[in-house]
């Protein structure tokens, strides 16, 4: 279990900044170790496991030391010196770590702004974009593999953090923004979804969007739109 924990930790390059929606690419070259590409210091949402609260949908809760692992998209805790993920994540209502709240909706979404019924949240994760194998004359051919890194790990293809890869792995670090609430769930933060979530305010929203050049990939623009939605609700 310790080897698994170290592998999980070793693969994330750094905590993704929340200065804009980001999709950054990192290529792990064949013949090298994945661990060599990623410093250890910035692999989780927090620099250490912190006392937090996990509230379940059935009303039960637990208090333990927690940290969000961005690479695996998991909320993890320490048990007997092992690092484990919260099982049955779909049963989680929310997680509280210090002043931060995470809702679970097809992944852990951290609240950035607002409160019910209008919440802006962010999802940070790492995804495998491609696996490129060596072809004739040293060329690289794509397998067009698109899945989360945890999917690769589940298949056992990276069971050792010192494993030397025989193909190039193309990983992407992602920061995606969402809009929604704890009752009805969350959708990707884009114009069509905002209009879908708040149909009663379609006229006011369209007027706001017409007067304000909103970049739905820019954090600050989305924070302003969230405030507007809060004010008209």
Q: Give the tens place of pLDDT for each residue, 77-89.
A: 998 888 899 988 9
Domain-embedded: residue 222: no
**Given pLDDT bands bounded at 50, 70 and 90, which one contains residue 156?**
very low
pLDDT digits (tens, 9 = 90+) for 14-69: 333 443 455 667 787 888 765 576 665 557 899 999 999 999 999 999 999 999 98
* Total structural domains within the chain: 1
Greater model confidence, 212 or 164: 212
Work out whether strand 61-69 and strand 74-79 pair parallel, antiparallel, or are unpaired: antiparallel
Domain-embedded: residue 218: no
CA–CA separation, 48 vs 95, rounded Å? 16
In this prediction the pTM is 0.77
CA–CA separation, 177 vs 187, rounded Å? 9
Residues 6 or more apart whose CB falls under 8 angstroms from that of 9 comprise 40, 43, 44, 69, 83
Contact 43, 70 (CB under 8 A): yes
Domain-embedded: residue 231: no
Domain-embedded: residue 211: no
Domain-embedded: residue 221: no
Listed residue (202, 201, 176) closest to 189, CA to CA: 176
Mean pLDDT calculated for residue range 79-101: 92
Q: Is 107 helix (H, G, I), strand (E, B) or coil?
A: coil
pLDDT attached to residue 181: 94
Q: Is the pLDDT of residue 180 over 60?
A: yes
Domain-embedded: residue 200: no
Domain-embedded: residue 204: no
pLDDT digits (tens, 9 = 90+) for 107-146: 999 999 999 999 999 999 877 778 877 654 455 566 555 4
Work out whether strand 118-134 and strand 108-115 pair parallel, antiparallel, or are unpaired: antiparallel
User: Mean pLDDT across the chain, nearest whole number?
Assistant: 79
Residue 60 structural domain: 2-187
CA–CA separation, 39 vs 223, rounded Å? 31
Q: Is the pLDDT of residue 171 over 50?
A: yes
Domain-embedded: residue 22: yes
């Amino acid at each position: 279990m310790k080897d698994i924990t170290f592998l999980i930790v070793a693969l994330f390059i750094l905590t993704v900044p929340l200065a804009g929606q980001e999709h950054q690419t990192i290529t792990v070259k064949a013949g090298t170790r994945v661990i060599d590409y990623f410093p250890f210091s910035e692999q989780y949402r927090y620099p250490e496991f912190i006392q937090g609260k996990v509230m379940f949908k059935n009303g039960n809760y637990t208090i333990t030391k927690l940290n969000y692992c961005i690479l695996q998209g998991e909320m993890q805790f320490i048990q007997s010196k092992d690092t484990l993920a919260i099982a049955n994540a779909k049963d989680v209502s929310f997680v509280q770590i210090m002043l931060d709240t995470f809702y679970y909706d097809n992944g852990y979404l951290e609240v950035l702004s607002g409160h019910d019924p209008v919440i802006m949240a962010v999802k940070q994760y790492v995804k495998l974009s491609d696996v490129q194998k060596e072809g004739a004359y040293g060329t690289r051919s794509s397998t067009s593999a698109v899945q989360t890194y945890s999917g690769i790990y589940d298949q056992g293809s990276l069971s050792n953090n010192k494993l030397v890869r025989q193909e190039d792995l193309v990983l992407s670090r992602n920061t995606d923004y969402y809009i929604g609430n704890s009752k009805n769930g969350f959708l990707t933060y884009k114009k069509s979804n905002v209009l879908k979530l708040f149909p009663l305010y379609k006229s006011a929203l369209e007027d706001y969007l017409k007067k304000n050049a909103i970049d739905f990939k820019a954090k600050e623009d989305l924070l302003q739109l969230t405030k507007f939605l809060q004010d008209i609700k």
